[in-house]
């Protein structure tokens, strides 16, 4: 039986801990294909436990390049695998749907 409490998706911040802007300015391209900021579950919400392993590396099935994400993003995936609908590929320099990626060293699709 899983003893991890349900996720409260209202408890979210940007990766730097700042509040999520209501005007979506954090989604603007910073010049390299990535957004200016990414939404994660708050540190307090992530501290409640994970339902998947915390993994920081994933592979784009199309180009084969490994992308490494920061710990707050990795912990958000581990706490709530369905939190995101897409992610960034450093090889292609663009965002793609999660089903185009697997966790590095596995055949497990992101978000599953």
Looking at residues 71-81, what average pLDDT do you find? 97
Rounded distance between C-alpha atoms, residue 12 and residue 102, angstroms: 25
DSSP-derived 3-state class of residue 77: helix
The CA-based dihedral angle spanning residues 70, 112, 108, 27, taken in that order and rounded to the nearest 10 degrees: -40
Tokens found for residue 82: 């369905």
- Rg of the chain over all Cα atoms, to the nearest angstrom: 14
Residue 59 CA: distances (Å) to CA of 4, 36, 65, 91, 110: 28, 22, 6, 10, 9
CB 33 within 8 Å of CB 94: yes
1: confidence class by pLDDT, cuts 50, 70, 90: very low
35: confidence class by pLDDT, cuts 50, 70, 90: very high
What is this structure's pTM? 0.93
């Amino acid at each position: 039986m899983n003893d991890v409490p349900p996720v409260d998706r209202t408890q979210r911040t940007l990766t730097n801990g700042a509040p999520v802007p209501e005007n979506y300015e954090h989604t603007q391209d910073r010049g390299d294909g990535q957004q200016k900021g990414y939404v994660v579950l708050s540190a307090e919400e992530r501290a409640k436990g994970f339902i998947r392993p915390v993994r920081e590396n994933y592979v784009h099935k199309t180009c084969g390049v490994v992308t490494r994400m920061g710990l707050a993003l990795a912990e958000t995936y581990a706490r709530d695998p369905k939190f995101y609908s897409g992610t960034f590929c450093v090889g292609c320099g663009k965002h793609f749907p999660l089903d185009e990626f697997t966790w590095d060293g596995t055949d497990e699709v992101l978000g599953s």
